[in-house]
Amino acid sequence: MKRAFLFILAFCNLPILLVAQIGMYQHGSVVRMHMGDCMLAHHGMTVAFGPPAIPSQDSCPEYTLVSTNVVYVIVGKSSNQLIPLSEVIDFRLHRNELAVRVDDAKRETKFTIKEMFVRSDWERVQHHIEAEMKAAEVREAER
């Protein structure tokens, strides 16, 4: 019985272990997080092309994940789909979704990809926004 249980456990964890060993995980860091609309995560493409949906009362976590070359904005599928905000997280792309390895645990949690940017473009936009905000503050203070 115990052996069978261990076998099933090993079998279930095999894909993740395999992925980890092959080194398919990319590394990134979450720099922004807020609770946003769940609609995108719930309905996916139907939001864009289907009939107008009733706004959801729920809010889902939205993360900005910065990797070496690409910045992903990802949305959870429920309000409690949180990922640990450690300095570096492991993730991989899987069928139009982004699977995040929850810290050292042998499980993944999948997020809908809302937006993707080339990192250099994203950083340029961020610098621009910051400069604009500074200028606006100075203008307001001088008024």
Partner 1 sequence: MHKVLGTVLLCTWLSLLVPLFLVQTIYPRDLLELHPPPPTKSGDFTYRSRASEVRLVFFATDEHNRRVEKLQRDDFAVIDNGWVIRNFRSFTSASLIKLDVTVLIDSSESVQPRFHQEITDVLAMISQWPWEPGDNISVLSFSGMDVHALCTGNCRYWLTADRAASLRNGGATPLFDAVITATNSVTAHRQPDIWPVIILFSDGNDTISKATFHAAIRKVIASEEQIYTVDLGDPRRPSDGTAVLRKMANDSGGRFLSLSDGPVKILNDVMDDLHSGLLVTYAPPEFSSGFHSIQILPTHNLSLQFRCRRGYYDHYSGSARQEDGP
Taking the least distance from each CB to partner 1, the nearer of 50 and 107 is 107
Binding segment (CB under 8 A) for partner 1, from list 32-40, 52-60, 68-76, 111-119: 32-40
Taking the least distance from each CB to partner 1, the nearer of 54 and 140 is 140
Q: Does 32 bind partner 1 (CB under 8 A)?
A: yes
As measured in angstroms, the least distance from the Cβ of 74 to partner 1 is 14
Cα distances (Å, whole numbers) of residue 80 to 52, 59, 76, 85? 26, 9, 8, 14
Q: Are 98 and 74 in contact (CB under 8 A)?
A: yes
Q: Are 56 and 37 in contact (CB under 8 A)?
A: yes
Q: Are 69 and 119 in contact (CB under 8 A)?
A: yes
Per CB under 8 A, contacts with partner 1 among 122-141 are 130, 133-134, 137, 140-141
Which is nearest to 80 in space by CA: 58, 54, 56? 58
Interaction site with partner 1 (CB under 8 A): 30-34, 82, 84-87, 102-103, 130, 133-134, 137, 140-142
